[in-house]
Every structure is written in C-alpha cells, then in structure tokens.
Amino acid sequence: MKVIYPGSFDPVTKGHIDIIKRAQKIFGEVIVAVLVNNSKNSLFTIEERVELLQDALKDIENIEVDTFSGLLINYTESKGCNRIIRGLRAISDYEVELQMALANRSLNGNVETVFLASSPEFNFLSSSIVKEIASFGGDVSDLVSSSVNEALKEKYKNIK
C-alpha cells in the first residue's frame, strides 16, 4: 500500500526519518510530500528541502520525494492514495493533528489519517529546535543527517 507523509521538512530531521522508515515497514511504499507554502517563512527553499530529503532517504527502498500545493486531500487523491501518515510527539501535536485529520475526513471519508507515535529519543525533536540550536552555532549532528548538518552550517555561517 502507498501512503503519503506530508510536511514542511524545513529541514528533515532524524525524527522525520524514523517515522518514514517505520511507515515504509508497515505499508510498503511512502510518498514524502513537501508542502509548497509561500506564506510560511522557511529557511530552506523547496528544492533544497527535496534534495536534503532525497539524500537522507537514499538507502531506504520504496520512497518517493515529491512536492504539493493546495489541499492535501486533492493531492492524496491525485496520487491514488487513501492513507496519510503523521507523527505524534507531545500532547501539543495532538490538538492540531486531530483537527487536521477530521477536516480531511470531512472532505473525503475514504482517506484515513494514521498516526505513528514518535520514538522516545526523538520526542523533543522538531525542525524549529534544530534551526534554533544551529543558528547559535550549537551541535545538531545527532539530530539530523550529515548533509542537513552541513547545509545548516552554510546557512548560518554569516549570522554568528
């Protein structure tokens, strides 16, 4: 079964990769879909985010990295999928994720959102915290792939 894992991935972290690997084991095929959202202030361009994802996922089978804009449910239908994967960390994720899952269900009742609980070691991890640490010159090498680590150093090299 093919499933969609949507997100901003600005940038991809080891928490995302953990969810992708586990979803691939359960469902067989994962489309990692990067949301093109011009109103959101992102550090990395869409092209950079896709490239960093492709690099981080190159050793995992049956993964496609794609982009989408507009309604997730329309994109999901266009890919012939009826499962959306989301990761759940602390309680704070729950409210937003539940609202989104129910909104998507109201648009198409055949599409189910499936939640995977974060692995404990990544429960605190988000793209935002990684950017914050990296922006002050902190070491994020345990939290992201080596390409993302290098890309973050490059982005922040003039801001210290």
Residue 86 has a CB neighbour count (10 Å cut-off) of 19
Q: What is the DSSP letter of 51?
A: H
Q: Which of 158, 133, 59, 25 is nearest to 142 (CA)?
A: 133
* Nearest Cα to Cα of residue 32 among 1, 59, 8: 8
Minimum CB distance to ligand ADP smaller for 20 or for 158: 20
Q: Total number of residues binding ligand ADP (CB under 6 A)? A: 16
Catalytic residue among 14, 16, 49, 131: 16
Give the footprint of ligand ADP on residues 123-142 (CB under 6 A): 125-127
DSSP state, residue 58:
T
From 26, 64, 93, 114, residue interacting with ligand ADP (rule: CB under 6 A): 93
Active-site residue 16, yes or no? yes
Host H or E run for residue 21? helix 14-27
146 is catalytic: no
Neighbours of 69 (CB within 10 A): 13
Which of the stretches 43-51, 68-76, 85-93, 106-114 binds ligand ADP when contact is defined by CB under 6 A? Answer: 85-93
Reply yes or no on whether 127 is catalytic: yes
Which residues sit at the interface with ligand ADP, rule CB under 6 A? 7-9, 13, 15-16, 19, 86-87, 89, 93, 118, 122, 125-127
Catalytic residues: 16, 40, 89, 127
